[in-house]
């Protein structure tokens, strides 16, 4: 009896407890589950009673799955602040060591008003155990140093193993890549040098930037509707606007956030469910992508960290082509203003959205396919010379535009069209939190994604008068008249004009029919 009384009590990790609960959920008898895991019926009942706590801890990732006790830290608010900071840093693949965590803990403790807190080695070990953290050396992505021996091995390993498994059950039509890019939408050629290399983490330039999310499939047959994130929730230029060629959202930094990305994901998942499709979505591991919702029709595959510069199709020329086309639209507008001697007005968000969407839809299927081939995800069928010739097509015409505008606007000689296209390549596209924001994010009711005010979001531009449907139809007729005087107009242009004309006539006819019915009912 003495030996039985001294028997050591067994401790179960959170992972083991969840396995027991899942076994019961699978339909097994409780008695059989208790025997399988070597536990008493009373212990099993306790696990089932506490399952909500276990699931919440796993969902919030507030404790490691191997942890056996769920006791809170002595300085709970410091612990939460350090872990929130750690998650942000870890998502960016930045080197994190034990000494770095201890220094950050002391800094945050001081900001929280704790003078006696000591970030000892013991505290660090307990912090690691509480959150299931294994400290490893990870490096920040650097495309200039990527293709060393380690980078090549990592890329080759992914090509030979993981990607083959991921795409095995999907056709190129159902394999997608999504990525974000920043855009200085009001950038003029003469200001290119000042914008080059700017990360734009905030301040005045945040009002001049947008973040755009693009998504396309490997066959180039489907480009999804872009998502544009601005700073102003209700800009003047979008007043009375009910249809846009993209989805528009806003927050204080014009960044992509976890909430916005997850909202977009859920919308895509719902569309795939309605279409009875299942797709594979390849994304990088930026901070906005690291806590995904439950998805039914989308399998998410993460690209290897530090390798997106050579593995992400959108980064291999698709987004660049979109920017070439967008900047070309801007140059054409500037050239027209110069020719008519009109004053140059800043581009507003509405105009930027239209031009970004037009540029995106104008990216050719062949360009998309070549970039997927370059990433090694689908078979390479074209030669390098074919790729180079096709890639230069949109830029050749734009170079001529650039020289005309650069000469007229006195752009310095050291700035070229490539500088203009890539001026916003270094923009931060997902939210980065500094220490004060980490602490603010812990406070109840704090909304870090609050959008800027209407006045802050864009330059003060004159409000455009509302165009009636009669005026719109008249404009189409004027376009027809103008095109009839031109030589060599492609049939596709007349086809597009016919489509617009049919839509407007259908709309006005329906309006007239509805009004006649209303008038008839009122006279009865």
Express each pLDDT in 96-105 by its tens digit.
667 778 888 8
pLDDT tens string 319-364 = 999 999 999 988 888 887 777 766 667 788 998 999 999 999 999 9
Mean pLDDT of 133-155: 49
User: What are the φ/ψ torsions at residue 265 (nearest 5 degrees)?
Assistant: -60, -45
| 318 and 416 fall within a common domain | yes
- Return the minimum-mean-pLDDT range out of 111-115, 417-421, 520-524: 520-524
Nearest 5°: the CA angle 54, 57, 60 is 145
Dihedral sign computed on CA atoms, order 275, 281, 287, 293: positive
Spatial CA neighbour of 363 closest among 212, 150, 187: 212
In this structure, are strands 298-302 and 175-184 parallel, antiparallel, or unpaired?
unpaired
Is 68 part of a structural domain of the chain?
no
Dist CA 366 CA 231 (whole Å): 34
- 3-state DSSP call for residue 355? helix
Considering only residues 2 and 321, tell me which one the structure prediction assigns the higher pLDDT.
321
pLDDT tens string 8-61 = 556 677 677 778 888 888 888 888 888 888 888 888 888 888 777 766 655 444
| 91 and 230 fall within a common domain | no
Considering only residues 184 and 426, tell me which one the structure prediction assigns the higher pLDDT.
184
Predicted confidence (pLDDT) at residue 368 exceeds the cutoff of 90: yes
Dist CA 22 CA 511 (whole Å): 58
| 134 and 238 fall within a common domain | no
> What are the distances in angstroms from CA 444 to CA 439, 440, 441?
11, 9, 8
pLDDT tens string 466-524 = 788 888 888 888 888 888 788 888 888 888 888 887 888 777 777 665 655 555 455 55
Is 224 part of a structural domain of the chain?
yes
Dist CA 97 CA 80 (whole Å): 18
Domain harbouring 108, CATH code:
1.10.10.60
| 19 and 46 fall within a common domain | yes
pLDDT of residue 117: 85
- Return the minimum-mean-pLDDT range out of 7-11, 254-258, 302-306, 344-348: 7-11
Q: Kindly state the percentage of the chain with pLDDT values over 70.
A: 71
pLDDT of residue 9: 59
| 90 and 197 fall within a common domain | no
pLDDT tens string 204-237 = 455 688 999 999 999 999 999 999 999 988 888 8
Predicted confidence (pLDDT) at residue 197 exceeds the cutoff of 60: no
| 87 and 199 fall within a common domain | no
Predicted confidence (pLDDT) at residue 257 exceeds the cutoff of 80: yes
Look at residues 101, 116, 151 and tell me which one is the last residue of a structural domain. 151
Is 140 part of a structural domain of the chain?
yes
Look at residues 123, 151, 179 and tell me which one is the last residue of a structural domain. 151
| 316 and 406 fall within a common domain | yes
Dist CA 391 CA 385 (whole Å): 10
Q: What is the pTM of this model?
A: 0.64
pLDDT of residue 65: 45
Dist CA 430 CA 477 (whole Å): 45
User: How far is C-alpha 382 from the chain's CA centre?
Assistant: 30
Q: Which residues contact 416 (CB under 8 A, 6 or more apart)?
A: 402
pLDDT of residue 500: 87
CA atoms within 13 A on the CB side of 199: 5
Predicted confidence (pLDDT) at residue 64 exceeds the cutoff of 50: no
Is 183 part of a structural domain of the chain?
yes
Q: How confident is the model at residue 177 (pLDDT cuts 50, 70, 90)?
A: very high
Q: Domain of 285?
A: 169-379+396-422
Average pLDDT, the chain: 77
Is 45 part of a structural domain of the chain?
yes
Predicted confidence (pLDDT) at residue 444 exceeds the cutoff of 60: no
Q: Kindly state the percentage of the chain with pLDDT values over 90.
A: 22
Look at residues 151, 185, 214 and tell me which one is the last residue of a structural domain. 151
Is 206 part of a structural domain of the chain?
yes
Q: What is the DSSP string of 399-454?
A: HHHHHHHHHHTT--TT--HHHHHHTTTT---B----HHHHHHHHSTT--TTPPBPH
Considering only residues 191 and 221, tell me which one the structure prediction assigns the higher pLDDT.
221
> What are the distances in angstroms from CA 372 to CA 98, 377, 411?
40, 6, 36
User: How far is C-alpha 255 from the chain's CA centre?
Assistant: 9
pLDDT of residue 139: 35
Tokens standing for 344?
């140059």
Dist CA 68 CA 55 (whole Å): 14
Considering only residues 446 and 294, tell me which one the structure prediction assigns the higher pLDDT.
294
Q: How confident is the model at residue 459 (pLDDT cuts 50, 70, 90)?
A: very low
Number of residues written out for the chain: 524
Q: How confident is the model at residue 385 (pLDDT cuts 50, 70, 90)?
A: very low
Q: Which helix (H) or strand (E) holds 494?
A: helix 491-523
Is 211 part of a structural domain of the chain?
yes
Domain harbouring 39, CATH code:
1.10.10
pLDDT of residue 180: 95
Strands (E), 297-389: 298-302
Dist CA 443 CA 103 (whole Å): 23
Tell me if 109 sits within 8 A of 127, measured CB to CB. no
Tell me if 158 sits within 8 A of 182, measured CB to CB. no
Is 23 part of a structural domain of the chain?
yes
| 200 and 279 fall within a common domain | yes
pLDDT of residue 211: 94
Q: How confident is the model at residue 145 (pLDDT cuts 50, 70, 90)?
A: very low
| 80 and 53 fall within a common domain | no
Highest mean pLDDT among 49-58, 139-148, 198-207: 49-58
| 329 and 292 fall within a common domain | yes
Q: In angstroms, how far is the first alpha carbon of the chain from the final one? A: 98
| 143 and 270 fall within a common domain | no
Mean pLDDT of 392-396: 63
| 53 and 195 fall within a common domain | no
Mean pLDDT of 413-442: 74
The count of structural domains within the chain is: 3
């Amino acid at each position: 009896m003495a030996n039985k009384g001294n028997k050591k009590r067994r401790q179960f990790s959170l992972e083991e407890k969840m396995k027991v609960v899942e076994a019961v959920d699978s339909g097994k008898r409780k008695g059989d589950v208790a025997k399988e895991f070597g536990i008493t019926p009373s212990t099993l009942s306790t696990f089932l009673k506490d399952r909500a706590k276990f699931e919440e801890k796993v969902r919030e990732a507030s404790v490691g799955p191997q942890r056996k006790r769920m006791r809170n830290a002595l300085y709970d608010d410091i612990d939460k602040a350090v872990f929130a900071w750690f998650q942000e840093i870890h998502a960016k693949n930045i080197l994190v060591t034990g000494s770095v965590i201890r220094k950050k803990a002391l800094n945050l403790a001081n900001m929280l008003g704790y003078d006696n807190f000591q970030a000892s080695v013991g505290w660090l070990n307990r912090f690691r155990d509480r959150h299931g953290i294994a400290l490893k050396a990870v490096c920040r992505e650097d495309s200039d140093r990527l293709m060393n021996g380690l980078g090549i091995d990592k890329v080759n390993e992914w090509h030979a193993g993981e990607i083959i498994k991921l795409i095995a059950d999907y056709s190129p039509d159902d394999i997608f890549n999504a990525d974000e890019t920043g855009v200085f939408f009001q950038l003029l050629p003469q200001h290119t040098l000042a914008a080059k290399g700017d990360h734009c983490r905030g301040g005045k330039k945040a009002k001049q930037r947008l973040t755009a999310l693009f998504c396309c499939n490997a066959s180039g047959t489907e480009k999804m509707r872009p998502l544009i994130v601005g700073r102003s929730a209700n800009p003047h230029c979008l007043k009375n606007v009910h249809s846009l060629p993209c989805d528009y959202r806003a927050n204080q930094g014009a960044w992509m956030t976890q909430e916005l990305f997850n909202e977009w994901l859920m919308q895509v998942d719902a569309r795939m469910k309605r279409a009875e499709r299942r797709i594979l979505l390849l994304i990088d591991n930026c901070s906005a992508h690291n806590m995904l919702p439950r998805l039914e029709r989308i399998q998410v595959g993460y690209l290897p960290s530090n390798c997106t510069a050579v593995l992400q199709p959108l980064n291999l020329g698709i987004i660049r082509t979109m920017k070439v086309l967008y900047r070309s639209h801007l140059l054409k507008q500037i050239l027209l203003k110069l020719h008519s001697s009109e004053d140059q007005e800043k581009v507003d968000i509405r105009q930027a959205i239209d031009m970004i969407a037009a540029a995106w839809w104008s990216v050719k299927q062949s360009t998309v396919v070549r970039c997927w081939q370059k990433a090694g995800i689908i078979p390479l069928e074209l030669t390098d010379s074919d790729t180079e010739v096709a890639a230069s097509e949109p830029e050749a015409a734009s170079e001529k535009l650039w020289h005309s505008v650069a000469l007229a606007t006195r752009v310095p000689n050291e700035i070229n069209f490539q500088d203009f296209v890539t001026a916003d390549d270094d923009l931060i596209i997902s939210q980065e939190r500094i220490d004060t924001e980490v602490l603010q994010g812990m406070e109840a009711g704090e909304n870090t994604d609050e959008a800027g005010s209407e006045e802050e979001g864009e330059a003060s531009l004159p409000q455009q008068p509302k165009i009636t449907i009669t005026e719109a139809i008249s404009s189409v007729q004027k376009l027809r008249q103008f095109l009839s005087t031109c030589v060599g107009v492609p049939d596709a242009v007349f086809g597009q004009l016919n489509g617009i004309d049919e839509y407007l006539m259908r709309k006005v006819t329906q309006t007239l029919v509805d009004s006649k019915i209303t008038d008839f009912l009122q006279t009865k």
